[in-house]
Amino acid sequence: MMETVTAKQGTQPHIHGVRIGVMRLGRPEGIGVARLALRSDDESRIELLREGESVELFGQGTLTLRTVLLPGGEFQRGAVVLDFEGGPED
């Protein structure tokens, strides 16, 4: 199962009970990167992801940073587009 979420900088959407906080984003040297705070009830992790990179989400599935949207228009402080794939492990 694939879900796609667009999250603005400073927000904290929830995916399968995991809080995905968008701490910071940018495109240094042409590479889209984002600092994310990943927090479940039991664990927390701060991750730095480049576009296309994935991270395991506390046994819930895999989170991929698809795109970094720089500030402008609707996203005045930028946003990230995240793909989540999977579901809870049996």
In the complex, the residues that contact other proteins under the rule CB under 8 A are: 6-14, 17, 19, 21, 23-30, 32-33, 35, 37, 39-48, 51, 67-70, 72-77, 81
CB burial string 1-39: b at 16+ within 10 A, e below: eeeebebbbeeeeebbebebbbeebeeeeeebbbebebb
Q: Which is nearer to other proteins, 29 or 90 (CB)?
A: 29
The Cα-based distances of 51 to 17, 20, 27, 90 in angstroms read 23, 16, 10, 29
Instruction: Supply the minimum distance, in Å, between the C-beta of residue 85 and other proteins.
Output: 19
Instruction: Supply the minimum distance, in Å, between the C-beta of residue 72 and other proteins.
Output: 7
Instruction: Supply the minimum distance, in Å, between the C-beta of residue 13 and other proteins.
Output: 4
